[in-house]
Amino acid sequence: MSGEWVIGVIGGSGLYTLPGLEDAQWIAVRSPFGTPSDEILCGRLGEVQVRFLPRHGRGHRLPPHAIDARANVDALKRAGCTDILAIAAVGSLSDALPPGRFVAVDQFIDATRGRDASFFGAGFVAHVGFAEPTCPRLTAMAAAAVRESGGEVTASGTYVAIEGPALSTRAESRLYAQWGGDVVGMTALPEAKLAREAELPYALLAMVSDRDGVAAADIERLVAQMHANAALARTAIARLLAGLPAWREPSPIDRALDDGVITNPDRFDRELVAKLDAVAGRLFAGR
């Protein structure tokens, strides 16, 4: 998809709105896959259209395991997004990633359990490539925006997604580090997988709020760090949006489903196909 950028921003812990948007209004977007976390704040920054969705809802109403990631991604697609920039609070698995540092995530390890991780299923089977789960173009621009905003950022890292809502034990944190994890969080999966299925290039800026599993969590200190991180994230988002090229060149992710659908068209589940009108509607054009 070339032409105009429409950036979907998913706000993590501490980031529940996006000040500074012009012509901003909260709009309810319905999804056949469930209830999104909140209304979507629609507006623009300069010439760039923005769609902001607080992942936990305004006021942080939703715990990680109660977030309907399918509804969220589907709603952002319906709102016209071409790309998604996600923000998430994380714990660090390394002394090299202290609180306050950002990580431009480029790999994931999935340790969640029982979450709805796909838009597809019986009657419409599809498999998308996920070896490189984030968009390199958007990830590089996001990392640069953090640096330009005065923040410290690591340009590559592996995010271990856990079920939550309890924080990790020390033993679990040691295990995740042995797996090759750099940070641990509770919300980026299945969100990133669903974005790929919806053909939306996805980048994740992980904001380190604490050292995972080292000591009993000081919740007051952790929350203070999350809010400081969110302030920097807001500045970085504004810089990213202001610095986008005037013309959006196509991304290979725009056509991630081209070779992914396995089910023969005469075997499609028409009810599921109807639900996929936003996620995969271009595949049905002319049929």
> H/E element holding 231?
helix 219-243
Distances (CA, A) of 229 to 136, 207, 282: 23, 6, 38
Distance from C-alpha of 61 to C-alpha of 83, rounded to nearest angstrom: 25
Residue 106 annotated to the active site = no
Residue 212 annotated to the active site = yes
Burial class (CB within 10 angstroms; exposed 0-12, middle 13-18, buried 19+) of 105? buried
145 phi/psi in degrees, rounded to 5? -65, -35
Q: List the catalytic residue out of 38, 74, 210, 254.
A: 210
Distances (CA, A) of 255 to 30, 131, 191: 24, 15, 18
Distance from C-alpha of 121 to C-alpha of 126, rounded to nearest angstrom: 8
Q: Which residues of the chain form beta strands (DSSP E)?
A: 6-11, 22-27, 40-45, 48-54, 83-92, 102-105, 107-111, 153-154, 158-162, 183-185, 202-211
Q: List the catalytic residue out of 68, 106, 212, 254.
A: 212
- Annotated catalytic sites, by residue? 210, 212
